[in-house]
A and B are shown apart, each in its own frame.
Chain A
């Protein structure tokens, strides 16, 4: 039996080569989430800070399109098991450099809109101002008890050109991923109250 475990451990040790490296250098960070219910929909406003690494900037200026993925989940925490997912929502932003006009294009796939920016900083700032994102239907969230929202932003490696994918997965200078930001979803009838720090997690009431 111990030998089997040893063999599994050996296999697991080889796995990190094929899983994304976790970014903890703060290149992408969610600083604020505000939510409210309007017209039976839970909307979220998310403020992010994004900074690209030199490698990513070089790739961008060489015509590589960077796809940034914003993920939001509404979860129901459980005592013994992991939290159950109630609703999930994803949003993609495509960042592209336009060589002819020397501008940066940001394409929002959800709203099917393209914005043009003269500088990379203003483009990233624009991506970092997510407003009125419908993340869930309000009736889905009713009768679920206490809920917890979490969001994160990351570079979608799978949308990179194929030769880059393995490099992007394994190398740290390609890592762009924020940590999960936990927030309490607003409800129509519930009054906003600070959430007790039950699990020692970084919970910020909005």
Chain B
């Protein structure tokens, strides 16, 4: 119902409707006037009355359709929450109430006045008077009627049974004597036998009523008043002719007597007045209905017009407000180009003008803001590019410790996946990656807005365990400038100084070793030579006691000098620049060769063989030394442990070699794990086991693992040491899994780059 009405409301109909409605209203007013006019002069209009009624009904139907259309649209808009619908509804209600109440009051009183007015026309006394007047009129004719009857009877008696012309003559004579102005004799079958009239114009005599003739034929006299053709009241008398007739037929004499003109006029007046009064009395209910109908039509017309005009007025009033609302919505949705037409000079026009001014201002501000934003975007991109290409890791944190931004280098330095830095707080990062604990210890407490002021910096050197061993990070934290409401957060810059420190340390040791070797070697030879010469010269000359002492002393000197020379040579070796000659070789074969050498040694060496050839580019001699150093180191550690703490040894000591191929993120590496089931490295030494002169053993030179590291670095690999606890726990440094059979103990992991094989070259 709603939808088809709205469809029916086509735009062009929409534009046409107000004009048609106005025309209909005017037409209906004219019709109402005509109806009320026709009520006053009832006889004038004949069938127009119906057309008027039909036209009014059609017009009112049209107005009803228009108003219903308006209401339907209003209800629909109201439900949809269209702007202005509520205001329209309120305005329409107000208008309708304003117009309906007076109209209804007027309608009610008019109706009651009409009803009472019509009723007041009629009165019992008037009605009685009318009836009496009529009776009086009849009474006044009584004497004349008796007279006429008498005269006619007499005439009938004197009439013979003549026929034809004779009868006519006789009748004519009789009429003359009786003052009748027309006399007719009816024979059988009501045929006119003779007629006489004093009016020469009337050719056909006035026939009496059939019933009156039958009445007279049955032998009874008949008398009545007969309203003639021109309102001429006459007395009609029918008398049977009693004379014996030869033919046996019954004749009837019909006589008409005129009344005096004055009596005629008066009686006619009485008759007309009586008739009119009776008609009015009879019609008064219908009259009331008709007046009510006309008034109702007027009421409906007024109400419909009021509702319709209310809609029209509301629309005209609300049109600029709706435009404003649409403009506001457009601005709210970001369309600042919307401009409203200013086509009125009233208050609403002023409002529209200010709206346009406001929109223009907003438009300018918005454009400026966009320009600024583009500028900021450019600067941010610039900064981002710079940060991403720094060799230092950069982390920026919000005041709440949340990481806002980071570069890839930061993730690499912290040995964590880059995406785990996104939207993560420093605290949760440390909880997730335990090796980052030093970072949090250094900064978490300090990075509070009230502790670290903008412009201040905080420096710390962090040691974190990465998959390539300990890493030393030089990190600086600074507070960022914030705005008035909030603190600005912090920036942490990380730099990897591991290699720098290592290089410094290596260079220092090399220098020390070179100098020591040089300084110590120089006096050693004269000492040795002097000791030998002293022995050769003095041994025979001294008494037995003295020679024995000399012999022992010089022997000691010579031996110690020899040992010192070896030591100094080792130093020299350590400090010497690498002299490796790499060639393609299989690490697994070398490992198994070396493991064979230790077969039968007190502490067994197990080899878990690799499943595939492990090609590397390496110097076999140097790598063999590396293996020997690692195996001997482990064996000595196990040996010493067994001597010092025999009660702690629960299983036979052993060393395990595990060469294998490690594949991670499409990067293939050759890995060699040397494991023992001993006590592991002391915790405080884990940092420095690969530095020279770091040893737990009283007899050790402290160069074994330092040389290992040197060899690994010569081959472009990495080495790290760690412990595996008896419960399997070990630092999460990405060292990969290992077989369970190895047991708790120390681990040294060597990683070397995989050599490119011929098959791989072919594949590539």
Contact = CB atoms under 8 A, between A and B. Distances in A.
A59 B279 CA distance: 8
Contacts of B57: 14, 18
A114 interface: yes
Interface in A110-145: 113-119, 122, 125
B interface SS class: helix
B278 A101 contact: no
Contacts of A11: 61
Contact of B212 (A113, A118, A165): A118
Contacts of B278: 62-63, 99
A169 interface: yes
A103 interface: yes
A62 B283 CA distance: 9
Nearest to B284: A163
Interface string A162-205: 11111101000000000000000000000000000000000000
A100 B49 contact: no
A119 B212 CA distance: 10
B289 A163 contact: yes
A163 B134 CA distance: 26
Contacts of B4: 3
B168 interface: no
Contacts of A90: none
B688 interface: no
Given A63-B279, A100-B138, A119-B211, A162 B271 contact: no
A99 B275 CA distance: 7
B286 interface: yes
B42 interface: yes
B440 interface: no
Given A18-B50, A161-B42, A162-B38, A118 B209 contact: yes
Given A62-B282, A100-B267, A105-B227, A122 B209 contact: yes
A38 interface: no
A44 to B, nearest CB: 22
Nearest to A107: B229
A166 B53 contact: yes
Interface in B126-165: 134, 137-138
Interface in B192-237: 207, 209-212, 224-229, 233
A98 B225 CA distance: 10
B289 A167 contact: yes
B46 interface: yes
A159 interface: yes
Contacts of A101: 224-227, 233
Please classify how large the interface on chain B is, using the bins under 10, 10 to 19, 20 to 34, 35 or more. 35 or more
A64 B279 contact: yes
Which one of A14, A114, A116, A118 has the greatest number of beta carbons of chain B within 10 Å? Answer: A116
A165 B275 CA distance: 19
Contact of B227 (A98, A122, A158, A165): A98
Interface in A2-47: 3, 11, 14, 18
Contacts of B212: 118
A166 B290 contact: yes
Contact of B271 (A58, A100, A122): A100
A116 B53 contact: no
A116 B209 contact: yes
Contacts of A122: 209-211
A158 B215 CA distance: 38
Which one of B137, B211, B227, B228 has the greatest number of beta carbons of chain A within 10 Å? Answer: B227
Which one of A64, A115, A158, A165 has the greatest number of beta carbons of chain B within 10 Å? Answer: A165
Contact of A99 (B207, B271, B281): B271
B245 interface: no
A11 B58 CA distance: 9
A99 B50 contact: no
Nearest to A162: B42
A95 to B, nearest CB: 14
Given A113-B229, A122-B210, 17 more contacts: A14-B57, A18-B50, A58-B282, A62-B281, A63-B274, A63-B275, A63-B279, A64-B282, A103-B225, A116-B226, A117-B209, A122-B209, A158-B50, A161-B283, A162-B290, A163-B290, A164-B283
Interface of A: 3, 11, 14, 18, 58-59, 62-64, 98-103, 105, 113-119, 122, 125, 158-159, 161-167, 169
Ranked nearest first, the 9 interchain pairs of A and B with the lowest CB-CB distance are: A62-B282, A101-B225, A163-B286, A63-B275, A63-B279, A162-B42, A63-B278, A3-B4, A100-B271
18 contacts: A18-B53, A59-B282, A62-B281, A99-B134, A99-B275, A100-B134, A100-B137, A101-B224, A103-B225, A105-B227, A114-B228, A116-B228, A119-B211, A125-B210, A162-B38, A163-B283, A165-B49, A166-B289
